A = this chain, B = another copy of it.
Amino acid sequence: MNADVARESNAGEQTRQKILDAAEALIIEHGFAETSLRAIAEKADVNLAATHYHFGSKQGLLAAVFHRRLEPVKEARLAALTRLEQNNEHLKVADILRAFFVPFYDADDSDLMDILPGLISRIYAEPPAISRPMLQEEFSEVISRFVAALGKACPGIPPNEMNWRFHFMIGSMLQLARFQIPIGQTSEAGSLKEGLDRLVAFTAAGIEQGDSR
């Protein structure tokens, strides 16, 4: 993984990556509107003009930052679900949810594990005019496949209702992403892994609710 970065030996591509890395870190920490191109260029140790050369505008940089991370998550989620469907006749809700969460919280690359939740929760924090199209673009396929799988696992729940439950599930997921531990709780040894288990249990209960199996 990440061989694409190492392989690029020309200076231009390296600069591009440095800018993306710096922008990503600053956006996670401060949000998009609060992050200036100047701050990004300084942290990346490149010239300010390079940001415009590579990405055209601040908006273009935003899109690139997000797309670089979201694309692999999308693929991993779809692949995990496909694997699940091939190996089992009847899927359990908790397994489907895990296939959805794991590429997000628990990437193979442990650096990514620190990055993804913070980054995605930022997208959702953007004004709907910005976040809606981006989420639609990056996630509509994933959402429809997972909602369908959940519907199949819970035959009693109509599709429209399952859409809503999926919606609430996303909210819980984001809450874990934003604040790793509950507000007002003193720091706890338990890792993100423990939060993930709790998230699966909580959302599975909400999704299965009222279904007769």
Binds B, one of A48-56, A102-110, A181-189: A181-189
Binds B, one of A11-19, A64-72, A163-171: A163-171
> DSSP majority for the A interface?
helix
Partner of A205, one of B136, B181, B206: B206
Partner of A202, one of B199, B201, B206: B206
On whether the beta carbons of A175 and B178 are closer than 8 Å, the reply is: no
Binds B, one of A39-47, A80-88, A121-129: A121-129
Number of copies: 2
Q: Name the residue in A30, A136, A174, A202 with the highest tally of chain B Cβ atoms < 10 Å from its Cβ.
A: A202
Partner of A175, one of B135, B136, B168, B188: B168
Give the bracket for the number of chain A residues in contact with chain B: 35 or more
Known A34-B127, A205-B206, A206-B203; judge A167-B183 contact (CB<8 A): yes
On whether the beta carbons of A125 and B125 are closer than 8 Å, the reply is: yes
Q: Name the residue in A124, A166, A204 with the highest tally of chain B Cβ atoms < 10 Å from its Cβ.
A: A124
| A90 partner residues in chain B, CB cutoff 8 A | none
In this complex, what residue of B is CB-closest to A162? Answer: B182
| A174 partner residues in chain B, CB cutoff 8 A | 171, 174-175
A193 contacts the other chain (Cβ, under 8 Å)?
no
